[in-house]
Amino acid sequence: MLAMRVGAPLLLLLLMPGCAPKPVSESPEIDVTTLSVAQLQARLASADLSAVTLTRAYLDRIALIDDTTELNAIIEINPDALEIAAELDRHLASSGPLGPLHGLPVVLKANIDTADAMTTSAGSLALAHHYAASDAFVVQRLRAAGAVILAKANLSEWANFRDSESSSGWSSLGGQSRNPHVLDRNPCGSSSGSAAAVAASLAPLAVGTETNGSIVCPAGYNGIVGIKPTLGTVSRQGIIPISHSQDTAGPMAQTVTAAALLLESMIGVDPADAAAVAFPDAAGSLLPDASIQRLDGTRIGVLRTYFGQGSQPATEAIYQASVETLAELGATLVDPINYLRDEAQRKASYQVLLYEFKAGLNAYLDSHSVGDDVDSLADLIVFNEAYEERVMPHFGQSIFHDAQAKGGLQEAAYAEARTASIERLRRDVDALFAEHELDALVIPVNGTAWKTDWLGGDNYTFGGTAYLAAVTGYPSIVVPAGAVRGLPIALGFVGRAFAEREIIQIAYVFEQATNARISPQFIASLEADTLEAQ
């Protein structure tokens, strides 16, 4: 873990996982695992709890949990976190709360620019010395709302877009992030560290990013709430890109209300983001209405076609029970909804990502001084080959090579791929919503987490429904639904563009009725490897 800006010789030592110092302080005055974000927010606003005390408590918990369990959720501590918290305490005393997040610590995925003593590395050795000159727009929003930027989270290197045989949660700077429920299991997706940090109560709030499931997947597998907002409502400026057609940042938290609170502060029109759109009725709150405890009048389509269908009976029993709960809560169910994209769509979608990754990453590197003469994707490929022993000990860079082989965005093949994937899927999803007059789709999110495997890579065996929101750019939310042998299982809701309020309310009602979130137990391993057969 990289703890502060340091000179090159010490930096090389600190790049090794577990080598950097963690902050040490007196015992925390509060137990951060027992208080909700709403409770923390109230105590901070009333000065019953100081931002310094809260920040110190989370720093101590990171030191206690992240290293001792080798969870590796955090890649870098903000050395200025306590100073920021102290300034917020002074502001509260003189002028009141700065904003709705006043004093609340937030962890950022390490592909998000911060103009401070932390690097923006995407987990890559090539960006180990990259200090951004300015905050990403979303970070500006968080600071203005009063957040304490506590740390950066580990991630799948380059947001899991380097090699087809990658291990989710592994980066050359941060090592392997683990699932806090069962440590030899995978945390999934590129926002793996952000999700694991929230699940393990290393921070009350975290920001992840998603291109194709990287908020949805880790939220599900780590047993927390994640929201992927409508494309363009949260700025991508200052975030290392994959695809301008699909990239977005989004909130992660232990509850629906906390995730919605964070999302409210993240949303905002950024003139520097070409895809920026204004969220309708910006003055209205995204927070769920606690007085609504039923879903009467809500029409929900039940997706019955998904990857691995019939392969995990215990997981599917949770999905079925969740659907029945929605009916008991008053929702009108349209069951079944059968839709599964074909292979042509999937291949076209990958082509779009390759074209846009090359163009977007080259633009980002050209506008940022990242060091080591890395100014393009081609340079990164050369760098990784030069440092192959450290950068590619487990998997290579096949996706980098695929992207580098592409031409520019003016090529006809790129436009054809967009038509065959994004435009076609939007038409199909819009037709489903219109035909059945749906307010939301309910989807199975994940099966039981697989064992991390550096030889075989990720082993997705169930779900595969995140593409519905990811490719269309529509919003989705993930909420805990149950567990199989201590491993979380989640439910997801997908809405049409700008339907965040509706799906947040649906998820909240389901959350309140089921109370299905479980706290991680940091089990080393399941003794009998029979989980996949259930």
Query: Which of the residues are catalytic?
Result: 109, 190, 214
The Cα–Cα gap between 76 and 402 comes to: 31
**Pair of tokens at residue 77:** 């501590």
Max CA separation in the chain (angstroms): 63
- The closest alpha carbon to 228, from 504, 509, 529, 517, belongs to 504
Instruction: Cis check for the bond before 17: say yes or no (omega within 30 of 0).
Output: no
495 in Cβ contact with 201 (< 8 Å): no
DSSP 299: E
Q: Could you tell me how many helices (H) and strands (E) the chain has, helices first? A: 18, 13
**Pair of tokens at residue 318:** 């949770």
The Cα–Cα gap between 113 and 118 comes to: 9
The Cα–Cα gap between 59 and 53 comes to: 10
Residue 232 class from Cβ within 10 Å (0-12 exposed, 13-18 middle, 19+ buried)?
buried
- Backbone phi, then psi, for 533, in 5-degree steps? -85, -10
Name the residue with tokens 């990239």. 247
- The closest alpha carbon to 249, from 264, 259, 257, 239, belongs to 239
Q: Which residues make Cβ contacts (< 8 Å) with residue 190, sequence separation at least 6?
A: 109, 155, 156, 159, 160, 161, 168, 208, 209, 211, 214, 218
- The closest alpha carbon to 170, from 190, 152, 185, 184, belongs to 190
Helices (H), 130-169: 137-144, 157-160
User: One-letter amino acid identity for 110?
Assistant: A
212 in Cβ contact with 159 (< 8 Å): no
448 in Cβ contact with 489 (< 8 Å): yes
